[in-house]
Amino acid sequence: MKKLLLCLVVLAFVACLDNAQKEKAQSHAASEANITSATHAAHGTSEAESAKSVVRAFGMHPPLTVLLEILNPEGMIGLNYKPYPEDKDFMPPNIDSLPVLGHMGDRSALFEAIVSLKPDVVFFGDSTPEDVLEPYQKVGIQIVRISGYSFDDLPKAIEVYKESLGGADSDVGKKADRLLAFVQKSSAKLQSLSDSITHRPTIYFAQGFDGLKSQCRNDDDTQELAYQIGGINALSCSMLNNPTQQVSINFEILASINPDVIFVRELPLFQELMQNPSQEWQTLKAFENHRIYYAPSTPSNWLMRPPSVMQALGFLWAFAKVQPELLSDEEVKVEAQHFFHTFLRDLSDEDYTRIQGLRSNHATSRVE
């Protein structure tokens, strides 16, 4: 009897101890939950949002920022310049309201302003001097250099962004894979189409508000822009005394090369040529044959300066203008709408027309 009574006492004690431990565990769990909820509330995020890691980032050059806008808009801390009115409708949500932090091109980027927004990573061009990078590194910001912005450099740049912004399994990583697939598909299509070319029209790239700034070609350069889009640059560097990356010419030189096709970078100039052209422009072959086109610049120039990921779409667009018998504008429109739907915002047929400068729009200058 005494043994039975002793057993009952022991069992009762163990039960009380288990209950106390359970209550303590429940109390601890509740406390942890309250702390977690308070943390989310303080940062204005939900638990689901918190589980999704976003890397805060800034690009020191417009081409680097365009790539961020496509791959990591949620993590962008700022822009290089104020968005143009015609671009805002096609930008990811809230991007146009980000602060303008400048860029390395004109040395307007301010260290204090950028650091105050606490980026995790800042992307620089490969040639950035060490003394510019050091202050960012000293405050614990990751520095990533990107080597080149040309069309051929895009796959490598996308891979670097993928690794720097979350890795292969992140949302950015998956989007980067889709972008890489688009770039590779575009490149392969251009190569295939190029093999079918029987005649290459001459092309002039009209830059600046008078259209008399451009880029010239070395005679043996098959990687030059005009060649990549199915033509040949009408302006040979051998014609000029001091050829540079961007050259200035007079109208006499433009008249002498008399290009078959002209691509215009500045929207105000294109609108002037469409609505009130001067007599000298009207004498050009491209004008007479209605082969003057405005190169879209949403969210950055598709064709000319600055070279960016938008060339993956823009080269196809331009090829359709230069070689319409090999690639139709309708095919390119489908590609453009797919690209915008996947990486930016939906693009209607009317939108596609508008971004080519073919409807009334805001006439603004670009400083990219």
Q: What is the pLDDT of residues 308-327, one digit of tens each?
A: 899 999 999 999 999 999 99
By the 10 Å C-beta count (0-12 exposed, 13-18 middle, 19+ buried), 18 is classed as: exposed
Same fold across 57-193 and 196-354: yes
User: Per-residue pLDDT for 18 more than 60?
Assistant: no
The pLDDT of 245-257, averaged and rounded, is 92
Ranges of each domain in the chain: 57-193, 196-354
pLDDT at res. 8: 41
**Strand spans (E) along the chain:** 57-59, 121-125, 142-146, 202-206, 213-214, 232-233, 247-248, 261-264, 292-294
pLDDT at res. 27: 41
Strand order in the sheet with 121-125: 57-59, 121-125, 142-146
d(CA 310, CA 334): 15
d(CA 215, CA 314): 17
pLDDT at res. 52: 58
User: Per-residue pLDDT for 3 more than 70?
Assistant: no
Mean per-residue pLDDT of the chain: 84
Percent of the chain with pLDDT over 90: 67
d(CA 254, CA 212): 8
pTM above threshold 0.85: no
User: Per-residue pLDDT for 62 more than 80?
Assistant: yes
Cβ neighbours of residue 250 under 8 Å, at least 6 residues apart? Answer: 212
Closest Cα partner for 300 from 263, 248, 355? 355
Asked if 115 and 142 touch (Cβ cutoff 8 Å), the reply is: no
User: Per-residue pLDDT for 242 more than 80?
Assistant: no
Q: What is the pLDDT of residues 316-361, one digit of tens each?
A: 999 999 999 999 999 999 999 999 999 999 999 999 999 999 864 4
Is the domain spanning 57-193 CATH 3.40.50.280? The answer is: no
Asked if 265 and 304 touch (Cβ cutoff 8 Å), the reply is: yes
196-354 falls under which CATH superfamily? Answer: Nitrogenase molybdenum iron protein domain (3.40.50.1980)
In terms of DSSP bridges, do strands 121-125 and 57-59 run parallel, antiparallel, or are they unpaired?
Answer: parallel
User: Per-residue pLDDT for 365 more than 90?
Assistant: no
Report how far apart, in Å, the C-alpha atoms of 303 and of each of 15, 193, 264, 318 are: 77, 18, 10, 8
Helices (H), 111-208: 111-116, 130-138, 154-164, 171-194
